[in-house]
Structure 1
């Protein structure tokens, strides 16, 4: 990013590459913006999987003004980075979407002279990072250019999901909610496809839907993630269900009901709550991240 610098933690140098790397994991932090902790947890998972010597782990840091950023580091609002919004005009220019920053990482991973043996890229986000990943899976344009490198998107325990239409759970099915008149923004970005931001609006709705239906998306849920700490409880979020675990199951039911044949898959981590480390290092978590 010329004139702009996105801080990140890397297990191998992204700029120079490495001929031994066969697997790349981009792990996105949660609301606390503690990319260093996420980097540590993912390194532990890679070690347990026996893949640390062949995997580049990259943990980008999406900063807000509270993080004392340097002059050349873009900053976002606390909700804007997870939604793909443009960085603040008070930071370096031109402004950049947080999703475009991830695009830049993917482009660099795709340079074959730097990573000649790279065979797979997995993007993982937990909590707020999971929110980012589900929306990014629907809107990334760069993914279509890396035709020889499969890409997987793992959204773990996010507070909310992207819905591709106005229907929400109603009885045993899905319908436009009766509260739509009072919960007027329930289907706006980033809950739905109306009023999309600059990055998401660059694609037609039809292609956003196609991306989310066809891309390799894993919904990773801790079965004990049923508490309310840091849970989005806006009316738009509450229409997706009462807690993170239930919201994830409902999203899968929605995708299967309205877009049969979609590529979303469920991975549950029994007995785990809202813990990135327990999710990433679990046996099933490692199988998803390091297939």
Structure 2
């Protein structure tokens, strides 16, 4: 098929998203096709146009910004040309810049409802204080960035406030507004973290906790790998809390063995873009220009970071990202994909007895015996933790109002594993 035919097919598929062509080329199913000669770029363009993934499409949220009680809007300068990120910001006297000692940055999901996620994080902070959770503080600042859609939120953002095409912010992509901006979602959050780490402005702040769920969880999952280190002179610790993402970032071309999960018609050989960023490191600099380390270099750094994965053991509906690239990471449901990723990063780090321990606990998935181990770089140690919220479906409230979810945000050091891996019959 020639490029003109591809363009025509894209146009057709964009109006008929369930077409066989769209399924076989964009979502990487194993439908018979003669397209093996297509370039990777053509496949990637096709994916962006017709994928049914929740991250790839705008979700309507036309309503004016609602400011929850206890919050205010605060614009943060995040670009060299004066570009600004809109945030929901705690409005209490105990959250003044001069007195806050920790900050929770809560990322919204694909609905771009920063107000809702500010409220969820604020409830979690209140629960932490009321229940005497370790790490709780009355001087906790809650910040919820608002990533606008250029189209769906048209008229709601000012001429210097950043907005994105589709939901490109989920994987740290570049803002499409203002025109010719170089600000990305990742660089915007880095600017926010850098501001909070400035002792002249926030003299008592010692911790920043970045939290997300769903689409926000996907952002934090990738940001926990790709974000720059905060200078040690800032004396600020960073925690990344990753809740129920549809996919995570793989450091190698390895994926769970197809014999370990059900995914009819999906194979790596039929999906030449399966390892393209945001699922793997192929062509990552097109979306994240600052990604200059090798995958092993990034993993070595990631293995030392304070990361907590939060998984609801009842997050089992086959929705969210249903592209082939995501399905190849562990099937149709988020819970199993995240369990298999947990196995993957432990194996990659060379953590002793990973398969034995996870198999005996009932975790799904398996990987090839030829998968590399980078234990020589990590010392066989992975600092990341996993906590399992029993009975929780795909719901940020359920995740972060639970005792384990609150602890995942606020408690320094070790977090309880929770569980069980699979929910009891209810």
1:145 positional shift: 5.5
Q: Matched residue of 1:179: which SS? A: coil
Q: Matched residue of 2:219: which SS? A: helix
Q: Does 1:77 align with 2:165?
A: yes
Residue correspondence of structure 1 range 3-14 to structure 2 within 5 A: 3-12=82-91
Matched with 1:148 is 235
Q: Tell me the distance in 2 between the aligned counterparts of 1:33 and 1:113.
A: 32
Residue from 217, 232, 243 that aligns with 2:321:
232
Asked whether the equivalents of residues 85 and 145 of structure 2 are also in contact (C-alpha less than 8 Å), the reply is yes
1:106 positional shift: 0.6
Residue correspondence of structure 1 range 142-221 to structure 2 within 5 A: 142-144=229-231, 148-170=235-257, 171=259, 179-196=267-284, 197-199=286-288, 201-205=290-294, 206-221=296-311
Matched with 2:124 is 45
Matched with 1:277 is 397
1:104 positional shift: 0.6
Q: Does 1:35 align with 2:114?
A: yes
Matched with 1:25 is 104
1:19 positional shift: 2.9
Q: Tell me the distance in 1 between the aligned counterparts of 2:317 and 2:329.
A: 15
Q: Matched residue of 1:161: which SS? A: coil
Q: Tell me the distance in 1 between the aligned counterparts of 2:210 and 2:159.
A: 28
Residue correspondence of structure 1 range 244-255 to structure 2 within 5 A: 244-255=334-345
How many aligned positions are there?
283
Q: Tell me the distance in 1 between the aligned counterparts of 2:84 and 2:126.
A: 29
Larger mean CA deviation between 272-281 and 73-82 belongs to: 73-82
Asked whether the equivalents of residues 84 and 132 of structure 1 are also in contact (C-alpha less than 8 Å), the reply is yes
1:17 positional shift: 5.2
Q: Matched residue of 1:49: which SS? A: helix
Matched with 1:67 is 153
Q: Tell me the distance in 1 between the aligned counterparts of 2:292 and 2:300.
A: 11
Gaps in structure 1 of 5+ consecutive residues: none
Greater RCO structure (CA 8 Å; 6+ sep): 1
Q: Tell me the distance in 1 between the aligned counterparts of 2:279 and 2:112.
A: 21
Asked whether the equivalents of residues 128 and 406 of structure 2 are also in contact (C-alpha less than 8 Å), the reply is yes
Could you report, residue by residue, the CA deviation over 1:181-213 in whole angstroms, capped at 9, with x for unpaired residues? Answer: 211111111101111034355321243222322
Q: Tell me the distance in 1 between the aligned counterparts of 2:83 and 2:229.
A: 19
Gaps in structure 2 of 5+ consecutive residues: 1-77, 130-135, 351-380, 412-426
Q: Does 1:137 align with 2:224?
A: yes
1:119 positional shift: 1.9
Q: What RMSD over aligned residues (CA atoms) do the two structures have, in Å? A: 2.1
Asked whether the equivalents of residues 268 and 328 of structure 2 are also in contact (C-alpha less than 8 Å), the reply is no
**Structure 1 284/24 Cα, relative in aligned 2: closer, same or farther at 3 Å?**
same
Q: Tell me the distance in 2 between the aligned counterparts of 1:63 and 1:56.
A: 22
TM-score by length of 2: 0.63
Structure number with bigger Rg: 2
Q: Matched residue of 1:6: which SS? A: strand
Runs of 4+ in structure 1 displaced over 6 angstroms? none
1:63 positional shift: 1.0
Q: Matched residue of 1:122: which SS? A: strand
Q: Tell me the distance in 2 between the aligned counterparts of 1:111 and 1:201.
A: 22
TM-score by length of 1: 0.91
Q: Matched residue of 1:9: which SS? A: strand
